Amino acid sequence: MVQTERDRAGDAHGDGAMPAHVPPELAMPFDYRYASQIADDPWAYFAGFTGGPEIFWSPGLGGYWVPARAEIIGAIFQDVDRFSNGVVSIPPPPRPQSIPASLDPPEHTKYRKIISQRMFTPRALASLVDDIAAITDELLARAVPEGQCEFVADIARPLPVSLILRMLGMPGDVRARLTEWVRMIFHGNSVEEHLEGYRATFGFLGDWLREQLALDAHEGLVLPAFVEARIDGRPLTFEEMHSMSMLLIGAGVDTASSQLTHAMRYFAEHPEARERIVREPQTIPAAIEELLRRYGIANITRVVREDMVYRGVPMRKGDLVLLASALAGLDAGAFPDPMTVDFDRPGVKGVHRPFGAGPHICPGAYLARELLRNLMTRIVPRLGEVRIAPGAALPHASGITVSLKSLPLEWSGAGAG
């Protein structure tokens, strides 16, 4: 029998054991990965936990703390002295360290500088924004005349994959393979499929790196940054480069693809919002923030560094903590009537935490926002009278990201046949 990820999590970590230090009144079964309600509406499920204790303990998946207020989630993201990045998911992944995601300052800072200062320079970002437009035009040229598409497979996944390929300096013909491996890693139907996708991507990246490092000149943004970088005066090792390139794929594709899909679904179901962003493009920056808030996707992990009482809650060294952007974005104390999308809502940016905060704050946030802007300025207008295909099932899944597995669309846009 094929073992599912759920079986494995259950086997490996057990459910329901309550550690002695956890006050029983703080225990609430919040299954951020497998609760049955997630398939239909993950945000309704998450929102149901924002009105109880500020921080509670979920006994499933080995047990973990869950802060359920935007302000506390933001504070923990920044509190590197008390919360470590040493474990990157709940349950902990069967993988080597991920550089720099699983490192803490000061080690983290040395590697993070390579990304922030050598890869994502203002010039590089400007050229990537041009790439977003060009790749979108190519994908739309194929999809628009058809009058229908499966948005995830046809646009939302290939778009960030192509962008990462440009960053890596890889040829575009790798796109189909990499897109499929990323699907397997994040949405495989079994642990085996997930691991196969991971191994295929990791193996492919390793071979490619070896080949490229043997050359004198290097394409893209990533290789030149790796080759020039120094850590305590020494060059990066092969393993470090391998881990960092894998992280770009792991962190940049499924996140961007999921966020684009949720936003696209919203526009497919709300013609008045579609008309507004076309009629009043000045609304777009607020629309980007509001959709990031309403459809928070990132489920990030921290580890408690030392025994402590944090905001009245007794935490033990090694306890895991889940920082869910959906819980921050749907906190009714911070955002009244949180389930309603309101492009005129004040005070969203800086409170909703879609990209975290502090030293690990997402270095791809600018690109992610540009991808959403591109959806609103290029994709939505081109799809015209777009709607969800009648009778389409829209199953969600939750893990490190909250995503929609497929989004079948139909339209009668300017280019539709």
Q: Is 64 helix (H, G, I), strand (E, B) or coil?
A: strand
Which CA distances in Å does 27 have to 23, 42, 57, 104?
Answer: 7, 20, 5, 29
Instruction: Give Cβ neighbours of residue 33 (< 8 Å, ≥ 6 apart).
Output: 5, 6, 9, 61, 398, 399
Contact string (CB under 6 A) for ligand HEM, positions 278-307, x = contact: -------------------xx-x-------
Contact string (CB under 6 A) for ligand HEM, positions 216-255, x = contact: -------------------------------xx--xx--x
Contact string (CB under 6 A) for ligand HEM, positions 330-359, x = contact: ------------------------xxx---
With contacts defined by CB under 6 A, how many residues of the chain interact with ligand HEM?
26
Answer yes or no whether residue 101 interacts with ligand HEM by CB under 6 A: yes
Contact string (CB under 6 A) for ligand HEM, positions 111-140, x = contact: -x--x-------------------------
- Token representation of residue 269: 């179901």
Determine the Cα–Cα distance for residues 283 and 279; give it in Å rounded to an integer: 9
Contact with ligand HEM (CB under 6 A) among 46, 49, 77, 343: 77
Determine the Cα–Cα distance for residues 44 and 47; give it in Å rounded to an integer: 5
147: left (phi over 0), alpha (psi -120 to 50) or beta: left
Answer yes or no whether residue 156 interacts with ligand HEM by CB under 6 A: no
CB of 248 to ligand HEM, least distance (A): 5
Beta strands in 112-192 (DSSP E): 148-150
Nearer to ligand HEM, 368 or 416 (CB): 368
The residues pairing with 323 across neighbouring beta strands, listed in sequence order, are: 300
- Half-sphere CA count of 21, side-chain side, radius 13 A: 15
Nearer to ligand HEM, 22 or 167 (CB): 167
Give contact residues for ligand HEM (rule: CB under 6 A).
77, 85, 100-101, 112, 115, 160, 247-248, 251-252, 255-256, 259, 297-298, 300, 354-356, 360, 362-364, 367-368
